[in-house]
Structure 1
Amino acid sequence: MKIVFLFLFSFICSQVVQAQKTGVLFAESEMKRFPEAWQLDHGKRLYFGYAQGVGCTAMLLAWKETGDRKYLDYVEQWADTIINEKGEIHLYKQETYNLDYINPGKILFDLYKETGKAKYKLAMDLLMKQLNNHPRTLEGVYWHKLIYPHQIWLDGLYMADPFMAQYAVTFDQPALINDVVNQFLVTAKRTYDFKTGLYYHAFDESRKERWADKVTGHSPNFWGRSIGWWFMALVDVLDFVPENHPQRPEIIKIIQGLGDTLPKYQDTNGLWYQVMDKPTYKGNYHEASVSSMFMYGYAKAVKMGYLNKKYLRIAEKAYEGIMKDLIVKNADGTLTLTKCCAVSGLGGRPYRDGSVGYYVNERIRDNDSKATGPFIMGCFYLGK
């Protein structure tokens, strides 16, 4: 018995160390293939994009975990280039009321603290001005974009609300926390499916979209990455919701519900499908971003005490599956993450109907930051 215990202990410890090493190697791989941060997610122009924000958030975690300032410098070079001395952001247009613009603003808190550059505070104020005026549903949740009126997307909770919560704490605006918490609780109510325990990608308050159920308003399927955004948003926002907030336990309860539900859809190889509850649908596949996001969500939720330590095994299985089935080691020593869904959404032109066939036929590519960023962060949280 003692020998078995020691073997298991040494195995777990070695896996923790290996996950940390993988996180470092993958961060360095991203920097090598994308020498400037605007190139993350295969960027073609200098842009304040949400996917670059995800990648740079991962780089800032790499800096904090390793102490190596090259990761901080990588992020700061991008921000310094894209934000002028007045705090104006290159190509940013507030009047589009697009929540995706908010996500890269998360990196500015660390940059402002480290550099003291006033322009980063001005840029955060600019983004907060958008949120102060951003259109909402009747229940107080932000529309995903002005071009998607009356719609809540799970993606949007990750894009905007942790930023607003951190702004509230950093700049002493506690009333904003109540707003944030309400948005999470309303979103949970409007997108949760009691039969599966999963969350629908989106909800249309008007019920006018072709993809929206005319009774419930929700979209028709469970897209893995949208639930990944949701899981990450939940574990991230609690960094800023005070311990004594009366509704904090309700957010933790949502996390615990996900903790119990998601393993039911985890395949034997540790991965999750692009459309989570349709594993046998032709063309459905084990997708990198959902598997990485859930790995991160579980690892952080356990680390922060929202989930019991037994749930760490779910994250470990995901890590093992990603390493075995989705990671390729290149001749130059870098790592590639394969089977990343490039993009998915609803409505627009051409019209995206939210069908299973739509989701499984969207473009697949390697090294998409919506997957690589969460993978790096998940590795570091597994290593904590």
Structure 2
Amino acid sequence: MERRQFLTTGATLAAGAALPALTAGAARAAAGARPADRLPPRAEIVAVLRRVADHWIGAHADPGDNQWARATFFSGLMALHRLTREPRYLAHARGWAEKHAYGLHNGVTTRHADDHCAGQTYLDLHALDATPDPAKIAAIEDSLQRMVRTSAEKHDDWWWDDALHMAMPPFARLGALRQDPAYWDAMHALYTHTKSAEGGPGLYDPAVGLWYRDKRFLPGGIASPNGRPVLWSRGNGWVAGAHTKVLGVLPASHPHVPEYRAALVGELTALRAVQRADGFWNVNLADPEHLPGPETSGTAFFTYGTAYALRAGLVPRETFRPVAARAWNGMVATAVHPDGFLGYVQNVGDRPESSQPVGYGTTADFGVGGFLMAGAELAKVAGS
């Protein structure tokens, strides 16, 4: 099958193929007379974000471990804190970081990207201090420095696309904080392996602008029951999140910025063609018949990337603002419960079949974090 074929199918779907009428109707009801492709005002977005964050915090008195899933939640909570300056959110994040002594799962010798995700929140907390406390970032800095020193010889650690979100942002931020481009050089070497060498051709498919989760899914490997490619939604969501966070840190003059921008824009362009009529994306972006239905975590990260690209002027406003609006309105109408519980989140996994079925009552910490990131970025795009 030609790699481009699924985009045509997805475009037909986005244009109005048969989907449950309930989702579109619920979205219109939630927004009153507002069209689904129009963003709500900023205050309305913030109110939803607060409801979702407050529900999660209220239901999880123990802030949890310092592994990637909970760390992604706290990355989202810190994005909401920066937007609202709510002291409770900052206190909850500090309590979590202090519980783990600002350390990394598996210690400073780890090279595993998942273990580095916690460093994003540690860096957030460090940046807020009037007098920065070096102890807050000592572990993440030590661990990444070890990788920087060996990056010329070993740069194949990020063998799955999720790794880009977990580890690229700390590399980018430490490079900026220390004014040391060695972090950015190491990050690019690791990124280039993932993109262009892992499994042979790399996990990025330039013909369609999307990424395979890992080498098992490259052409000739794992396919959908219909024989189509498996391009996992959340895997591509992690990629969108990575590029968004890195581009928010690197100076515009940095030589690799055009490459990172092109990868994000290419991905968003491909995603626009396969967005569902209800605003969501399916778990397999290449096959709308493969476990079809709303899924929040991938949708949230795509919304996050689209909102950033709009704000940064990387994509046309008239083309992509409706994409972001449909996604946000769809999630709010379909996935957000009245009490703030966030549903339709596919739990831990590595492919569309993982943690199925996905429904109104399925949630996860990283999905909530992605939703908070999306809304916090989108609030900057929306008007008052």
Common fold: TM-score over 0.5: yes
Partner of 1:290: 298
Letter of the structure 1 residue corresponding to residue 255 of structure 2: P
TM-score by length of 2: 0.78
CA 1:215–1:341: 2 relative to 1, 3 Å: closer
Q: Per the alignment, do residues 23 and 142 of structure 1 end up closer, same or farther by CA in structure 2, a change over 3 Å counting?
A: farther
Determine whether 1:22 maps to 2:48. yes
Q: Determine if the alignment matches structure 1 residue 164 to structure 2 residue 171.
A: yes
Q: Aligned partner of 2:305: which letter?
A: G
Contact 1:97 1:134 in 2 (8 A): no
Query: Contact 2:151–2:186 (CA<8 Å) still a contact in 1?
Result: no
Contact between 1:342 and 1:362, CA under 8 Å: does it hold in 2?
Answer: no
1:143 shift after superposition = 1.7
CA–CA distance in 1 between the matches of 2:111 and 2:51?
37
Structure 1 residues 164 and 362: alpha-carbon distance in aligned structure 2, compared to 1, 3 A threshold: farther
For the 8 Å contact 2:108–2:139, the answer to whether it is kept is no
Deviation by residue 1:142-198 (Cα, 9 ceiling, x = unmatched): 424xxxxxxx21101111111111011112211221232344344333223355432
Q: In 2, distance between residues paired with 1:377 and 1:172?
A: 26
Q: Is the 1:223–1:359 Cα contact (8 Å) retained in structure 2? A: no
CA distance in 2, matches of 1:192, 1:17: 37
Residue 34 (structure 1) aligned with residue 60 (structure 2): yes
Distance 1:279 1:32, change over 3 A: same
Is structure 2 residue 247 aligned with structure 1 residue 231? no
The 5-angstrom pairing of residues 98-109 of structure 1 reads: 98-109=112-123
- Report deviation, 1:295: 0.9
Q: 1:200 aligns with which of 212, 234, 242?
A: 212
Aligned CA distance change for structure 1 residues 360 and 369 (closer, same or farther; 3 Å): closer
Separation in 2 of the partners of 1:362 and 1:8? 31
The answer to whether 1:306 aligns with 2:314 is: yes
Measured after TM superposition, the shift of residue 135 of structure 1 is 8.0
* 1:302 positional shift: 1.0
| Aligned-residue offset at 1:335 | 1.0
> Counterpart amino acid of 1:26?
V
Which fold has the larger relative contact order, with Cα–Cα distance below 8 Å and residues 6 or more apart in sequence? 2
Q: Which shifted more, 213-222 or 313-322?
A: 213-222
Distance in 2 (CA, whole Å) between partners of 1:313 and 1:201 is 27
Cα distance change on mapping 1:377 and 1:194 into 2, 3 Å: closer
Question: Per-residue deviation at 1:375?
Answer: 0.8
2:336 is the alignment partner of 1:327: yes
- Who is 2:142 aligned against? 126
Scaled by the length of structure 1, what TM-score is found? 0.78
- 3-state SS of paired residue (2:298): helix
Per the TM alignment, residue 344 of structure 1 is displaced from its structure 2 partner at its CA by 1.3
Greater Cα shift, 219-228 or 230-239 = 219-228
Q: Matches of 1:24 and 1:382 in 2, distance apart? A: 14
Distance 1:71 1:81 in 2: 15
Q: Alpha-carbon deviations, 1:266-301, whole Å to 9, x = none? A: 1100100111121113x3332110011111110112
Are the structure 2 counterparts of residues 67 and 212 from structure 1 closer, same or farther at C-alpha, using a change threshold of 3 Å?
A: closer
Deviates more, 1:212-221 or 1:232-241: 212-221
Deviation at 1:113, TM superposition (A): 3.2
Tell me the amino acid that sits aligned with residue 372 of structure 1.
V
* Distance in 2, Cα, partners of 1:91 & 1:187: 23
Asked if structure 2 preserves the Cα contact closer than 8 Å seen for 1:20 and 1:382, the reply is no
CA distance in 2, matches of 1:337, 1:228: 17
- Give SS of 1:37's match: coil
Q: 1:218 to 1:117 in 2, by over 3 A?
A: farther
Structure 2 unpaired stretches of 5+ = 1-32, 197-201
The answer to whether the 8 A contact 2:39-2:329 is kept is: no
Contact 1:165/1:241 (<8 A) preserved: yes
Residues 36, 74 of structure 1: 8 Å contact kept? no
Paired residue total: 334
Taking the aligned partners of 2:314 and 2:213, their CA distance within structure 1 comes to 24
Q: Deviations over 1:300-355 (max 9, x none)?
A: 121122222221221110011112222221xxxx211112111113xxxxxxxx6x
Report the Cα distance in structure 2 between the residues aligned to 1:112 and 1:317, rounded to whole angstroms: 35
1:112 offset after TM fit, Å?
Answer: 2.1
The residue type equivalent to 2:172 in the other structure is A
- Conserved? CA contact 1:274–1:359, under 8 Å: no
- Is contact 1:296–1:378 with CA below 8 Å preserved after alignment? yes
CA distance in 2, matches of 1:71, 1:249: 35
Counterpart check, 1:155 vs 2:169: no
Amino-acid identity (%): 20
